[in-house]
Amino acid sequence: MSHDPNCLFCKIVAGQIPSRKVYEDEHILAFHDIHPWAPVHILLIPKQHLSSLAEATDAHAEVLGRMTVLAPKLMRELGVTNGFRTVINTGADGGQEVYHLHMHVMGGPRPWAKG
C-alpha cells in the first residue's frame, strides 16, 4: 500500500497522529473533521495514498465506490436523517488543502451555510 511519510492523512492512517475514528477497514478510514462546517462532519479517506481525485485511475474505482456507498451508511449511524452533503476538493483551484484524496461528508441543518 502506497504511503507518503510527509502526508498528514497517511500519518493518521499509520496511527502517528490521533483522530476520532468513525469507521475503519483495510481500505478506508473515516474520522471526524477537526474544523467541522456542520453538526456532523466526517472525512473518508483511502488508506492508500492518492494525492487527489485528479490522480485517480481505473485502479482506484473500487475504493472510490466503497467510499461513496459508505457515506450514507455512516451518516445514518451518526444520526443524520434529513440529508447530507459530500464534497471532494481537487487541486489548488478546487480548494484542496491536504493532498491526500478525502471526501467531506457533512450533515445537519444547512451545513454549507457556515458563517
Strand-pair partners of 31: 21, 43
Among 41, 100, 102, 104, the one annotated catalytic: 102
Are the C-beta atoms of residues 106 and 40 closer than 8 Å to each other?
yes
Question: Per this entry, what is the length of the chain?
Answer: 115
C-alpha 96 chain-centroid distance: 12
To the query of whether residue 27 is one of the catalytic residues in this protein, the response is no
Q: Which residues are catalytic?
A: 102
